[in-house]
Structures are given as structure tokens and as C-alpha cells.
Amino acid sequence: MQILIFKTIFQAYISLLVILTLVFYKELSIFIILQNTFIFLIISTVIYKVCLHYNMHKFTRASHITFIRIILSIVMLSLALNSFFDTSIYGELYFLNMFIFLAFIALILDGADGFIARKYKESNSFGIAFDQEADNLMLLILSLSIYLNKNINIIIFLIPIYRYIFILFMYRFLWLKRELPKSFLRKFICIFTSILLIISHISYLDEYIVINIVFFALFIITFSFAKDIIWLYGKKNENM
């Protein structure tokens, strides 16, 4: 089992190096490679531990696609961080909308992995958790990028943190552990929030417009979580 998991992680790392080469091209340096390798190792260690927890013997086709989304998020993080610390070298890559391009590819793949999972009946607990964490990682990186490069208030981090606040409160209030019904609106809001945060990176947008887009994204994600919590509270006296 572990050999297959390590093989997938190694293949993912090769994919990371290829994407880095295509994105940074002449600006690619040993520092960038080491930086991304370090982040990749941290995330891959967590993925490996989760695989063992779910007793996964191999990655499904859908999970391979989700792993590619993780890799794109790592590269996006590298672009956001390096453009902030060294605008003269990396700012051009960031502000020429390479970041936006990668983000939209990741968003398209978000729909692809779900489609593949349903088509080949590969849906499982690990895949669902993996997909959710990949979604939240992208929201975190989008939020961090806007915070660093668009002069937005730290409140933007509520968007990716909401999920973990919800999970934390599940240990205090057992009624929050009830399984939520499938909801098109919930999925739509998650996708639309990502789109709003991606659009906020458009270089020629006025700061005032970006602030309003971010606050609208925060509003709709707050609405989504509040709606689910109210539904769960209404069911708290029913048998689970």
C-alpha cells in the first residue's frame, strides 16, 4: 500500500517541477524549486498520514486530479509570496495574470474530479475529504494572495477559516455532526466565492472595487455556513 502512495507522491512532485518550469521559465531558480519542494513535502506528509487513516491502497483517478489541484495551489502560493517580496523579478508573472490563469485551471479541475468520481463510481470518504481540503487550500491561498498584494483587511481569512471553526465547534456541539443534505446552493456558493476571489486579482481593478468584491464573497460564504447551522440546529432534537 505504502509503495503505491509514495509512487503517486513522487509522480506529483515531477508534475510540480514541470509546472514550475512552464510558469517561471527564465525566472526559475534553485530558491524557487527548494521553496516549492519544502511546501510540497509538508502537504504530502499530511496527505500520506490521511491515506493511512483511511486505509487507502491507491489513489483513484479522481484523487489524482485533486492532487494536481493541490500542486497548482502550491505554485500559486509561490507566485503570490515571491511577487510580494520581490516585485521587480516576480511581479510581472503575478500581474500578467499567470496567477489568475492557474487559479481558473484549478477551478475547472475541481469540477473534473467530481465528474470522474461519479462516472467511474470512485467516490469514497478519502476522496470527499481530499476534495474539500483541496478546495479550502485554494481559498486560503487566494485570500493570502489578496491580503499580501491587494492591501485587504485581515478579515478576508475568515473565508478559508470558517470550515475549521465549524469543525472545531462540532466537538462542543454534537448536533453539528449530523450529516448535511446535498445542496446545489452550497456547492455553487463555494465555487462562486472562489471565482470572486480570483477576479479580485485582476490587475487593473480599482482597490475600492476589490474591497467590495471581497466583502461580497465574505457575505455569501457567511450566509452559506449560517444556513447550514440553522438547519442543523432545527434537527438537533431528532435522532441521528
pLDDT at 2 over 70: yes
Q: What distance in Å separates the CA atoms of residue 104 and residue 24, rounded to the nearest whole number?
A: 18
Band (27; pLDDT cuts 50, 70, 90): confident
pLDDT of 235 reads 81
Query: pTM of the prediction?
Result: 0.92
pLDDT at 45 over 90: yes
pLDDT at 95 over 80: no
* Least confident stretch, 17-26, 78-87, 225-234: 78-87
Residues 34-61 as b/e (b if ≥16 CB within 10 A, e otherwise) read ebbbebbeebbeebbeebeeeebeebbe
Q: Which SS3 state, helix, strand or coil, does residue 10 take?
A: helix
Q: What is the mean pLDDT of residues 161-172?
A: 92
Q: What is the mean pLDDT of residues 223-227?
A: 95
Three-point CA angle 97, 98, 104, nearest 5°: 90
Q: Which SS3 state, helix, strand or coil, does residue 13 take?
A: helix
Band (172; pLDDT cuts 50, 70, 90): confident
Place of cell 470518504: 125
Q: What is the mean pLDDT of residues 64-87?
A: 91
pLDDT of 56 reads 82
Q: What is the mean pLDDT of the chain?
A: 90
**What percent of the chain is predicted at pLDDT more than 70?**
98
pLDDT of 86 reads 80
**What percent of the chain is predicted at pLDDT more than 90?**
57
